[in-house]
Structure 1
């Protein structure tokens, strides 16, 4: 339920892309590792690489997790690494003594975004990263993003920057998670007020930034989600040990055009796939288990939240994915049934802390 957008104030960032050789300083964020997860989207990945090269500050590492294990992606990453080394030079050694900024991490098979972010954060952690800035391949970072995030890092350990949508308008993200129901609050206020931030109890791996001590306390992102709700739960867990915030500063723009339904001309309900629909429902089983582990599970309210989630997916099918109604309803039903199995799995354990 975290995919509604709000569109206003169009901003054009095309001029910021592809500025190879743009002047950059070392990152004001200590040992900042950008963790990118990609799968079969080389054109989008190329645009992300161009935007990283246009940053006004150089990250300590860029870890590229390739779920396709593609020769094409491997070549792209090598060229990107060569360009980054020429532009910024080498960096502080990691735990292995390597001074290359770009680290390529191909996976043996498609482990989904959840597995990709889990392995990517693990890799960056092992290299010695202090901060983790995570993102998919279908975004572009804005040139001053690191500086914008850096001003919040002295006081906060989890920071979610604001985003622009594909068309350049503001992207409304549901930062307020209603834990008893297990759903994002669709009417949480969009305005940030004079402070420029709001406290949140969720996260989005589309540009989320978090500190090493958070990973040590709550563990790695859970790869078992495969896709969907993994970042929500990671933010929920982070809220148990700190006060995560979402800030008004724009740091990233979506680069993939997704079909959507305008709601009153302000917010949008985006198109999705049957695979997403299945995992949206199935992974509520994992969500419930984490709530149980932390004393936040309320069976009746959570069941209501599951019903509301299913209704939303049916509305999405009718409004923007009508051609998939038959298969989509099957995916929703199967995910719902499988979520019940996870609720009663005697072998399930939460991800362990690293320290």
Structure 2
């Protein structure tokens, strides 16, 4: 049961687990762990999934143990890189098995706002799947595509200040950069799908969650991004630099998204094909306008071919079931 207790003069949120997936960013991970230790309210558990970084990440984690004090730290070094999707699958599985009531998911390139956990828990009595505001490394608000349109299979922004009339707004998607989810939701929809590897995994997970509970974003900065990226603003959205690997999976994983939509009777081939064209155009624009190069187009076309193959796979099945776990 979630509750706040005091242990050696540190306030601890019992039943809360922070789940971090890291890959070859030990310096940023050190800043993240420092921010966890400096929080006004500590999580009971901290699960760190290392995607086979092969660097000094284990030493960074060990160096942080003393500062984390009463936080129960579970560090797992994977044998191979499973991507963010595979890492969050493993991290949520471990936190769930440890009996966590709430799981706060994040990458290694963010830092916690000092009172970020308290901001989220203030809404935990009413909502079971929520996110807070995020800041860029320069302190500006982080741009968030905040509504998923199933027909097109894309996320688009709502214009204007969403907190103008209330401190909470509803959505139908999520981001693993800060998702705060209750175990009852995980029980209902399963663990994150590792087949995505990277990209679209959190959107799909949030869309699944929206079928069993309200998914909301609450007012108050809870995370700050540590990594600076080149980006441009198009008004209705921002475009940041990306890797060719990310571009490939951006297109490839639309094949998985087809199955998610089809399983719930929401797949419409023609609108979805138009959405795919929009995503491809966005990736081309990212290359030309942000990264100022053409090399990388091949990753887009390869991803599209792989997406078609996956979409035709009749052996595809849904998320794995969550095994029953005894509460500690």
TM-score interval for Structure 1 and Structure 2 normalised by the shorter chain: over 0.9
Aligned counterpart, 1:98: none
> Secondary structure of 1:242's partner?
coil
Aligned counterpart, 1:169: 140
Aligned counterpart, 1:117: 88
Quick check: 1:77 aligned with 2:48?
no
The answer to whether the 8 A contact 1:174-1:188 is kept is no
Q: Which runs of 5+ in 2 are unaligned?
A: 1-7, 324-328
The answer to whether the 8 A contact 1:55-1:142 is kept is yes
Rounded Cα–Cα distance in structure 1 between residues aligned with 2:119 and 2:204? 25
Aligned counterpart, 1:234: 205
In the TM superposition, structure 1's runs of 4+ consecutive aligned residues that sit over 6 Å from their partners are none
Quick check: 1:217 aligned with 2:188?
yes
Aligned counterpart, 2:318: 350
The answer to whether the 8 A contact 2:130-2:180 is kept is yes
Question: C-alpha displacement at 1:69, in angstroms?
Answer: 4.9
Question: C-alpha displacement at 1:193, in angstroms?
Answer: 2.9
Q: Which runs of 5+ in 1 are unaligned?
A: 1-21, 91-100
Rounded Cα–Cα distance in structure 1 between residues aligned with 2:226 and 2:152? 31
- Please report the TM-score for the alignment, with normalisation by the length of structure 1: 0.86
Quick check: 1:184 aligned with 2:152?
no
The answer to whether the 8 A contact 1:258-1:271 is kept is yes
The answer to whether the 8 A contact 2:21-2:91 is kept is yes
RMSD: 1.6
Rounded Cα–Cα distance in structure 2 between residues aligned with 1:53 and 1:83? 6
Aligned counterpart, 1:26: 12
> Secondary structure of 1:31's partner?
strand
The answer to whether the 8 A contact 1:23-1:56 is kept is no
The answer to whether the 8 A contact 1:175-1:188 is kept is no
Aligned counterpart, 1:10: none
Quick check: 1:275 aligned with 2:245?
yes
Question: C-alpha displacement at 1:187, in angstroms?
Answer: 4.3
Aligned counterpart, 2:234: 263
Pairing partner for 2:50 from 66, 88, 91: 66
Aligned counterpart, 1:51: 35
Pairing partner for 1:310 from 273, 280, 303: 280
Pairing partner for 1:156 from 103, 108, 127: 127
- Please report the TM-score for the alignment, with normalisation by the length of structure 2: 0.93
The answer to whether the 8 A contact 2:129-2:182 is kept is yes
Q: In the comparison of the two structures, how many residue pairs are matched?
A: 316
Pairing partner for 2:302 from 318, 325, 334: 334
Structure 1 stretch displaced more, 274-283 or 294-303: 294-303
The answer to whether the 8 A contact 1:25-1:57 is kept is yes
Question: C-alpha displacement at 1:321, in angstroms?
Answer: 1.5
Pairing partner for 1:139 from 82, 105, 110: 110
The answer to whether the 8 A contact 1:121-1:132 is kept is yes
Pairing partner for 1:288 from 252, 258, 269: 258
Task: Map Cα deviations across residues 216-235 of structure 1 (whole Å, 9 max, x no partner).
Answer: 10000000000000000000
Structure 1 stretch displaced more, 68-77 or 304-313: 68-77
Rounded Cα–Cα distance in structure 1 between residues aligned with 2:43 and 2:95? 12
The answer to whether the 8 A contact 1:175-1:246 is kept is no
The answer to whether the 8 A contact 1:69-1:108 is kept is no
Rounded Cα–Cα distance in structure 2 between residues aligned with 1:62 and 1:263? 37
Task: Map Cα deviations across residues 145-180 of structure 1 (whole Å, 9 max, x no partner).
Answer: 011001110010000111001110111211111111
